[in-house]
Structures are given as C-alpha cells and as structure tokens.
Amino acid sequence: MVRDVAFGQYFPGKSIIHRLDSRAKILLLIGYIVIIFCAFNYFSLSLVALLSAVMIALSKISPKFYFKSLKVIIFVVIFTSLLNLFYGTGEIIAQWWIFKVTVGGINRAVFVTVRIICLILASSCLTFTTAPTELTDAIERLMKPLNKLHFPVHEIAMMMSLALRFVPTLLEETDKITSAQKARGADMESGNILKRVKALIPILIPLFVSSFRRAYEIATAMECRCYHGGNGRTRMKIIHMTKRDVMAFAVLAFVILGVILCNIFIPTVI
C-alpha cells in the first residue's frame, strides 16, 4: 500500500539528468520553482511547462511514473483550481447562486493547475534521478555555510540519510506488526473512518517502541565505528561540477531570460 507511492522514489539510470551533480540539480530545481511563479502570461507559462516536458524526456524514466506522482496530489490540484475559478474578478461568464465564473477566474485556475503540476513534475524528476544519499549529501554541502551560524548542518543531513535508509526497514516492520495483530484478531478493514483510525493504534505503538530500540542499537553501532559527528570526517565520494552542469545552468538561465522577456513584452494575464 504505502509502497505504491511513486513520489520520492529513486530509479537508477544513466541519463543526462541522472549524471548531473546533485547539488546542481537542487539549485536548478529551486531556480525552476522561482520561475514557475514568475510566469504571468500564457507564453511564459508554456515556456516553463515546456522545460518540464524536456526534463521528463531527458530523464529517460517512463512518464507512467510521473503520472503516478501526480495522482497523489490530484485532489489538491482540483480543490485549488476550483477555489481559484470562483474567486476571480472581471467579466462574468456564468453565475449560479453565489458562485460566479469569470475570465480572471478561469485564467487563475489554469495558472494554478499548470504551476502545481510543473512543481510536482520537476521535484519528481529530482527525486527519481537522484539517489537519496546523494540528495542528503548535496544538501549537507549546500548548507555548509550555515555552519558558521552554529546551525547543525552535518547532524541534520545525517538524520535525513538515516531516516531514508530506514524507510524500507520500517515498512517491512509495519507489515509484520500488521500481520501479527491480524493473527491476534485485529480488524482493520471494516467500520467507519474513526474505527479504522483507532485500529491503527495497536500497530503504531509497537512500531514506535521498536523504533526507539532500533535507534538505540543504531547509535551503538555508529559509535563502534568511531562516529563522532561531522568534525574531521572525510567522504569517499567527492562530487565535482562538470561541463554538463554548467550547460544545465545555461539552459535554465535561457528559460529565465525567456520568461522575463515574455513578461515584459506580452501583457500580464493574472
């Protein structure tokens, strides 16, 4: 059940996107998210959407998985677009009771939908093509300057990578506990929502208890291997920015320029 969620999964591969420096990918994603929200007319919006499509094509991962990751947020998309549809101003096209659909409303709904979809597609592209360890590694390296402000960068990155490491282990454990409770006669499939939520308690409590025990053991194992925080620690894998990364930044810069030009020369829609 939990395993079906595509969002956040990693698909190993050798595409151009896979081989980009993970730090570059994070920065590119942040840049991309900014321009998603800086597109104010249909030309710039389609430029932004086009970049998403190019990313997906270059990642060489079946669009099926991208659709799957969209499925998770489909309700959010529908809800926000409906909300925006009825909150617009301008020429009224249709009206029913207090709901009125306006041109402005339609525009806003379309923009919000496209923006959320692009956002999800681009972030999926990042997580699909980057190993979790590389991601946390990149975050650690990118946030390094914060160390000067006594922000525990290494510790946070360590916690993130440990959490990611233990996701499959804990899923397995959840399955085991669920089976064990079912064997004892627990009923999880019938009843209303409240009843089903309550039925989760006998699963969550053992899971929590065993997680604490596990955490204690992991800490012991880490100490046995001389772990003593980030000071004096080296890394086996060093990541380098390459020409490929520079090119990726160039493409993003090009699209940003395009968006800015479109915004200047073509009238704003919303």
Partner 1 sequence: MQFISLENVVFSYSDSENDLIAKNAIDGVSLDIKKGEFVALLGHNGCGKSTVAKHLNAMLLPDSGKVYVDGDDTADEDKTFEIRKKVGLVLQNPDNQLVASIVEDDVAFGPENLGIEPDEIRRRVDFALKAVGMYDYRESAPFKLSGGQKQRVAIAGILAMQPQCIVLDEPTAMLDPNGRDEVLSTLLKLNREDGITVVLITHYMEEAVLSDRVVVMDEGKILTQGTPDEVFSQVELLKKHRLDVPQSAELAHRLKGCGVKIDKIPLTVQDCVDMLEGVLK
CB of 10 to partner 1, least distance (A): 9
CA distances 137 to 48, 59, 260, Å, are 28, 21, 33
The nearer residue to partner 1, 64 or 225, going by C-beta atoms, is 225
Could you give the CA distance from residue 45 to residue 269 in angstroms, rounded to a whole number? 11
The nearer residue to partner 1, 102 or 161, going by C-beta atoms, is 161
CB of 237 to partner 1, least distance (A): 7
CB of 231 to partner 1, least distance (A): 9
CB of 242 to partner 1, least distance (A): 17
Could you give the CA distance from residue 106 to residue 104 in angstroms, rounded to a whole number? 6
Could you give the CA distance from residue 14 to residue 5 in angstroms, rounded to a whole number? 23
The residues that bridge with 100 in the sheet, in sequence order, are 95
The nearer residue to partner 1, 164 or 186, going by C-beta atoms, is 164
Closest CA to 80 of 30, 122, 43, 119: 119
Using an 8 Å Cβ cutoff, are 173 and 210 in contact?
A: yes
Could you give the CA distance from residue 232 to residue 152 in angstroms, rounded to a whole number? 15
CB of 20 to partner 1, least distance (A): 18
Q: Measured on CA atoms in the order 111, 116, 121, 123, is the torsion positive or negative? A: positive
Residue 52 one-letter amino acid: S
The nearer residue to partner 1, 119 or 131, going by C-beta atoms, is 131
CB of 162 to partner 1, least distance (A): 6
The nearer residue to partner 1, 192 or 234, going by C-beta atoms, is 234
The pair of structure tokens assigned to 116 is 């959320």
The nearer residue to partner 1, 2 or 193, going by C-beta atoms, is 2
| Residues found near partner 1 in the complex (CB under 8 A) | 131-133, 161-162, 164-165, 168-169, 172, 214, 217-218, 220-228, 232-238
